[in-house]
Every structure is written in structure tokens, then in C-alpha cells.
Amino acid sequence: MTATLYDPTGEFAPLQRAPLAKPATLSGLTVGLLDISKARGDVFLDRLANLLGAQGLTVKRYKKPTFTRPAPVELLQQIASDCDVVIEGLAD
């Protein structure tokens, strides 16, 4: 059953949560590249890694065990600990 809860706040926050603000520049940030294990995702991400590396950015690579399931919590925590921004390859 879907629960209905009553807002305890001053109700300034929108019903839908806004995504985090995008950084104005990648300069000095660590970029994570997450391969979700879809076919040929690595081709795209390899090229991105080259381009970002050429800008002098720190790039870290991650891979989900399978695209069929959400990423393991350990992986999410590792990415959140290591990186400022993340690029996720979502499709073939």
C-alpha cells in the first residue's frame, strides 16, 4: 500500500527533488566514468577518457557487474568517495 505522509517542513522545497547543480567548470575535478557493462560502452568511454585526460583532468574508471541490476552499494560509495562528477554510459 502506498503511504501518504504530511509535510513537516515550511514547504519551500519542491515536490520533486531538483538534481544537484552542475559544476561551472571541470577544472580541478575528478571525473568518474561508469561503464554499465552494455556492449561497446567501453569504446565510447575510452574515447571520453582520452579527451578528458587531454584536458589534464583526473579520470577514474568504474564498471557495474551487469547492466541488469542497480550498481552495488559498495561501488556507488566508492564513486561518491573518489569523484566530483560522474559520467554514466547508459545504453548501447
Partner 1 sequence: MHLPEGFIAIVKQDCPTCVLVDPVLHSIEGSGLSLTVYVQDEPDFPSSSRVVDDRSLETSYRLHIETVPTLIKIEGGQERARVIGWERDEWRALTGLASLGSELPAYRPGCGSLSVQPGIAEGLAIKYGDFRLQSRALAVPTLTDDIEYCFERGWSDGLPVVPPTAERVYRMLQATTRAANEELGRMPPLLTACTVEKVAINAVMAGCKPEYLPAVIAAVEAALDPAFCLHGLLATTWFSGPMVIVNGPARKAMGMNWTGNVLGQGNRANASIGRALQLTVRNVGGGKPQETDMSTFGHPGKLGFCFAEDEDTPWTTLAEDRGVPRGRSAVTVFSADGPLGCADQKARTPEALIYSLAGSLRGLNHIHMVNAADAVVVIGPEHGRVFDLAGWSKADAVAALHAATLVEGVDLGMGTAPGVTAKNDKAMRHKFRAGGLTLVRAGGPAGMFSAIIPGWLVKGELGTDPVTREIRS
Residues that bind partner 1 (CB under 8 A): 2-13, 15, 17
Between residues 1 and 54, which has the closer beta carbon with respect to partner 1?
1
Between residues 15 and 54, which has the closer beta carbon with respect to partner 1?
15
Output the smallest distance, CB 85 to partner 1, in A.
21
- Amino acid present at 89: G
Total Cβ atoms within 10 A of residue 7? 8
Total Cβ atoms within 10 A of residue 86? 16
Output the smallest distance, CB 18 to partner 1, in A.
12
- Amino acid present at 69: R
